Amino acid sequence: MIKGKNKDLLWVIQGILSILMFLLFSTANWGLAVACAIIFLANFFLIGGGSKVDAMFLLYPYGAFLLFVGGGMCVLFYYWQLFYTTGPQALWVGNHPGVTIAWLCFGLIGGILISQLSYTILFNKYVISENEWQDYVAEAKEIMRNDDDVDTGNKRPKSTAKTNAVLNDKEVQ
């Protein structure tokens, strides 16, 4: 989906966003600058996904990232403006409400649910399938059985016990 000229265009957009962020931060337009930064960061999902990006990828993790991080920033700015001159009457989980929102949106939801969970869910589809992994393990086992290098006659270094145990599907201690 994203390759060739589309990917080149995405890099140009990243450059434009970088300049725009600099100008907006320089002129103290914090909200717009942060909005550009969120789009800037989210676009790395698309650049990293490359040609394997499909409609599901645009919903999760890309869309989820925009939703949670963008929403978190909106709430963070809301509390920042609300308590700009005064302190909050009550703390949330022992923190200023804006800090609690930041921990929830960026750390818990943004960090764990979007990056780690999406990697786990989408691993077989985008990184390596179970069949490819089994082929790799079979090939590694074959290499381990043939300790001699046939072409040069040189001995390969002996494998460690841990490597042999993993390749032979034994529990490593």
Q: Based on the domain organization, do 122 and 45 belong to the same domain?
A: yes
Q: Based on the domain organization, do 15 and 95 belong to the same domain?
A: yes
Q: Based on the domain organization, do 51 and 119 belong to the same domain?
A: yes
The whole domain housing 162 covers 132-167
Q: Based on the domain organization, do 38 and 112 belong to the same domain?
A: yes
153 within some domain? yes
What are the beta bridge partners of residue 54? Answer: none
Q: Based on the domain organization, do 80 and 10 belong to the same domain?
A: yes
169: region left, alpha or beta (phi > 0 left; psi from -120 to 50 alpha): left
Structural domain count, the chain: 2
Q: Based on the domain organization, do 19 and 104 belong to the same domain?
A: yes
Residue 72: C-alpha distances to residues 26, 66, 102, 118 (Å) = 23, 10, 6, 19
172 within some domain? no
Give the whole-angstrom CA distance, residue 88 versus residue 164: 60
pLDDT value at position 23?
A: 95
173 within some domain? no
Tens-of-pLDDT digits for all 173 residues of the chain? 567 787 888 889 999 999 999 999 899 888 899 889 889 888 887 787 665 667 777 777 778 888 888 887 888 788 778 877 877 777 877 887 777 877 777 777 777 777 777 777 777 676 777 888 888 888 888 887 775 555 555 555 555 555 666 556 655 44
Give the whole-angstrom CA distance, residue 110 versus residue 169: 35
3-class DSSP assignment, residue 92: strand
pLDDT value at position 164?
A: 61
User: Does the CA dihedral 115-116-122-127 come out positive or negative?
Assistant: positive
Q: Based on the domain organization, do 62 and 147 belong to the same domain?
A: no
Q: Based on the domain organization, do 152 and 102 belong to the same domain?
A: no
Q: Based on the domain organization, do 54 and 115 belong to the same domain?
A: yes
Q: Based on the domain organization, do 48 and 74 belong to the same domain?
A: yes
- Read off the pTM: 0.56
Give the whole-angstrom CA distance, residue 70 versus residue 79: 14
74 within some domain? yes
Give the whole-angstrom CA distance, residue 117 versus residue 109: 10
pLDDT value at position 87?
A: 76
DSSP state of 149: -
Q: Based on the domain organization, do 118 and 151 belong to the same domain?
A: no
